Structure 1
Amino acid sequence: MTKQGMDVLVLGGTQFVGRHIVEALLLAGHRVAVFTRGRTPDELPETVERLHGDRDGGAVGLAALAERTWDTCVDVSGYTPRQVRASAEALHGSVGRYVFVSTVSVYGEPERHPVREDDPLLPEAAEDVTEVTGQTYGPLKVTCERIVEEVYGEQRSALLRPQIVAGPHDPTGRYTYWVDRIAAGGRFFAPGDGSDSVQVIDARDLARFTVTVLEGGLSGAYNLAGPRLSWREFVAAAREATGSDAQPVWTPAEVLQGGELGLPLWLPAGGPQGGLMDVANSRAVAAGLTLTGPEVTARDTRAWSAGTPQKVFLTPGREAEVLAEQG
């Protein structure tokens, strides 16, 4: 049953994914409070209530949430079991539902094609693990998912498992690197022979689906993944979106995976994580997920990134050197 005009608490909410979720909630007519450490400025509208605290501080850190109630909570910033258990238990009597933003990195067999919601998960990390690394990230999220369902039950919770998230305000640069590089024109490294897949989810699509989950009272786990393209199709879409004449130099895996040339976003289809570029989204689509066209995501990301400093994965000078070596 759809519910309009809800009071929503967003744990996180000022940066990238959380920012897009807050904006989508406001557009849908909901009232939003965000809970953050308050250490960085945000660009959210003044109508958003700011609550400050630290999820790592236990009950004391969550004091700003005491004696308050909301219709639902969206957890965008839960990375460790300590954070998620503290907030889930503290809010158990204060929110009707708890929606947890997880990741496709929870899957234990990422070489599968396609990756589906009922696939096996990674072994859980212990609840006292607090260091988030490339090795612990997925297992920690598995434990966090279990805690949410343990505290709220399946009917009062939902798990969102996004693919790599792309779009304006992305701080990681993983997707943005390619759009910016293609926009710059000229010859550039492109991965493999162009037949591998690239798949992301536009942050705005993730945000709109989050609103759908809240308004519809949806439960269970949902993979959130966008259109699956070959790298040749992705390059063509980015060229069209940016009006670029960039020419890809398709480069063998052994060159690109050689340390300094390890570029973002590329996962060879036959590799140990190849399935993470083949994530099934049919369950979410059936529940209301709508997808932005790849050329629109590329165009809008470039419009934002053109005026915003980005992470450098490969300098133009070094790229030119290696391209010359490749002939």
Structure 2
Amino acid sequence: MTTRRDLLKFGALATAAAALPAFGSSASLGNAIPRADRPLNILILGGTGFTGPFQVAYALARGHKVTTFNRGRRPIAEWGDKVEQLVGDRTTGDLKALEGRTWDVCIDNPTSLPYWVRDAGKVLAGKVGHYLFISTISVYADGSSHGMDEDSALAAYKGKDAMAETRETLMADIENLYGPLKALSEAEAHKQFGDKVTIVRPGYIVGPRDETDRFTYWPKRVAEGGEILVPGDGLDPIQIIDGRDLGEWMIRLAEAGTTGVFNACGPDYTLTMDAALHGCHAVSGGPASFTHVPGEFLEKQGVGLPIWVPREGSPYSGYGTVSNARAIAAGLSFRPLAETVTDLLAWYRSLPAERQAEVRAGITREKEAELLKAWRMQGA
């Protein structure tokens, strides 16, 4: 099963995504996306990782002016002069490129450390009209609670000095620090930017450009066919959101000037593990069968599978039932699962062969066969 440690580990992989073109219709500049009523001048901190390019593409299509700020390690050539790409380094406090500038909106994508928000505030407070911060559902104190909403209690920081935490100290104690530091980053956002703040808390972000392979493991495995090991009884709920749905909704939040806190989890119905896998199979086709293996057996074998969590008995059982009612009321919408799976497989198959051969999440076919054999022998 996936844990909070996995969330951060996979999040780090996501930020390492290569500058690849955006797959899927609504994120493409060539489609008929209606122009916004009022063009905005938008600053995106990050912008070249997973969801950032979708934000940029949609913002440009809506007629907005976009500036990105990052370390410049992954400049996206396809943007050309359509996007102003500023270079700096928030880990060292180098935000000089932002000084003396004003923007209507700032979207903060990569921050996991409170001092990043503090430093941004020193330069941008009073210089941006609206600050949108991508947080995480890992901020909640009790991940096992079903129906967590935006008012649920947040994880408490138990260290000595949150502002002294660095990327290195975070990675050294991910399980205990990730959620609390994200929660404190949210608080710092309000401290620096007042009531003109939007906090967006996603769960599992999936789709094209996802370098973590968390969800990708399943469409890829189903497309390969044969006997597929499914954890649990298939009825455990899961929540995912396409990175394009998240990125585009954040631009619409900026356009509307919407503030507040929102859980960005999808879809807008209960999606079980079995339903997700059969949805993948409906896209890929081919001979495939699904064998359910109890989570208890997998746990004894020391094996976890991505995205899935049991609906009871795990510190993260609530990750499949987070309330998204407030976000839906604020305009969050979800494309069909089939579209996400189709575009994800197309993107994945465009990657180099050696990358496709990697297993960044899930288990190898050999391990899967070994587990299925052991499960059958136990029941013999």
TM-score range, shorter chain: over 0.9
In the superposition, the TM-score normalised over structure 2's length comes to: 0.81
- In the TM superposition, what is the alpha-carbon distance from 1:260 to its structure 2 partner? 5.2
| TM alignment of 1:1-327, pairs within 5 A | 4-42=38-76, 44-46=78-80, 47-58=82-93, 61-124=94-157, 126-130=162-166, 131-132=169-170, 133-154=174-195, 156-227=196-267, 228-258=270-300, 261-270=303-312, 271-308=314-351, 309-310=355-356, 311-312=358-359, 313-327=362-376
- In the TM superposition, what is the alpha-carbon distance from 1:43 to its structure 2 partner? 5.3
- In the TM superposition, what is the alpha-carbon distance from 1:44 to its structure 2 partner? 4.8
Aligned CA-pair RMSD: 1.6
Deviates more, 1:175-184 or 1:127-136: 127-136
8 Å CA contact 1:256, 1:262 repeated in 2: yes
In the superposition, the TM-score normalised over structure 1's length comes to: 0.94
How far, CA to CA, are the matches of 2:223 and 2:259 in structure 1?
Answer: 40
8 Å CA contact 1:239, 1:245 repeated in 2: no
What residue ranges of structure 2 are gaps of 5+ in the alignment?
1-35
Q: Deviations over 1:24-68 (max 9, x none)?
A: 21121111111111123435511111111100122xx10111111
8 Å CA contact 1:14, 1:44 repeated in 2: no
Q: Deviations over 1:152-178 (max 9, x none)?
A: 112x11000011100100011111111
Q: Deviations over 1:97-117 (max 9, x none)?
A: 111010111111222211101
How far, CA to CA, are the matches of 1:170 and 1:251 in structure 2?
Answer: 27
SS at match of 1:264: coil
- In the TM superposition, what is the alpha-carbon distance from 1:315 to its structure 2 partner? 1.5
- In the TM superposition, what is the alpha-carbon distance from 1:259 to its structure 2 partner? 5.9
How far, CA to CA, are the matches of 1:39 and 1:258 in structure 2?
Answer: 42
How far, CA to CA, are the matches of 1:322 and 1:70 in structure 2?
Answer: 54
- Amino acid across the alignment from 2:102: T
8 Å CA contact 2:204, 2:239 repeated in 1: yes
- In the TM superposition, what is the alpha-carbon distance from 1:3 to its structure 2 partner? 5.8
What residue ranges of structure 1 are gaps of 5+ in the alignment?
none
Aligned-pair identity in percent equals: 38
8 Å CA contact 1:167, 1:202 repeated in 2: yes
How far, CA to CA, are the matches of 2:78 and 2:309 in structure 1?
Answer: 35
How far, CA to CA, are the matches of 1:254 and 1:216 in structure 2?
Answer: 47
How far, CA to CA, are the matches of 1:237 and 1:207 in structure 2?
Answer: 23
